[in-house]
Amino acid sequence: MPEGDTVFRAARLLDRALSGKVLLVSDFRVPQLATVDLAGARVTTTVARGKHLLTRIATEDTSWTLHTHLKMEGAWRIHRDEERWSRPAHQARVVLGVAGASAVGYSLGIVELVETAAEDTVVGHLGPDLLGPDWDESEALRRIAAGPEREIGDALRDQTNLAGLGNMYVAELCFVSGVHPRRLAGEIDALPRMVRRGRQMLDLNKERAIQSTTGDLRERMRMWVYRRDRSPCRRCGTTIQVDQQGESGRERAIYFCPACQPAP
């Protein structure tokens, strides 16, 4: 599932391509919105909220927000007129056309349309956004501290605690902090520093398409532990391990070095 920095870049892509422009095409290819036509409306902005995208569209009567989520396979792409689409047409869930180009949302996991005044009904449950202008570290720490018995990997992935960290960043963040992902949140004295590092990781990567937490952009050198199970730790040479974490049906893979991140 895309991380917060990936969604941030998607929002910027849509904002630059659509904002201030009138929709010539409004094609929602999901059953619940199949009869909706916003052609003639003006796109005002697109913003990211954690892993959620909010595209605001103003009609004469009201302002609507198109709420989309990439989930595992989704992506937004901008195609110039006459340009071949990057994915098969049957994967398109939304097409927003303006003069000269179209924004196409492929394989989107969520497509909803709500009044902008009611945006909280779709994103109000989220914790502070690590890349948002209203980032609130103290509130994020308060929410994590409210569940001291939770394993830190689960607590950091929980978007109601803080929005933007996914499985990859949680694995990398735990490693660079020397914390096993199964450590209980209430036992970690360095939690404020972990949260700051998490924000720094996203902030550093939001400007580039190639994500790296090591500072090395070469393939196979970009990560410390994520998806490196059975490979040697870059610090100590111990074999990286992988396990599952989370409630049944919603498990996530956790990657760690048993030497650098001692088990609790």
Catalytic residue, chosen from 12, 56, 197, 252, is: 252
Instruction: Tell me the residue type at 169.
Output: Y
Look up residue 236 and give its two tokens: 């100590």
Catalytic residue among 51, 199, 206, 228: 51
Q: Which among 2, 42, 49, 206 is annotated as catalytic?
A: 2
Burial level of 235, CB count in 10 A (0-12/13-18/19+)?
Answer: middle
Task: Please return the burial class of 243, using the count of CB atoms within 10 Å of its CB with bins 0-12, 13-18 and 19+.
Answer: middle
CA distance readout (Å), 130 to 136, 142, 195: 8, 15, 9
Q: Can 51 be counted among the known catalytic residues?
A: yes
Residue 3 annotated as catalytic: yes
Bridge partners for 75 per DSSP: 106
Residue type, 98: V
Considering the candidates 3, 119, 151, 172, report the single residue annotated as catalytic: 3
Contact 173, 205 (CB under 8 A): no
| DSSP assigned state of 259 | T
104 vs 55: CA distance, rounded Å: 13
* Token pair recorded at residue 138: 């103290």
- Catalytic positions, please? 2-3, 51, 252
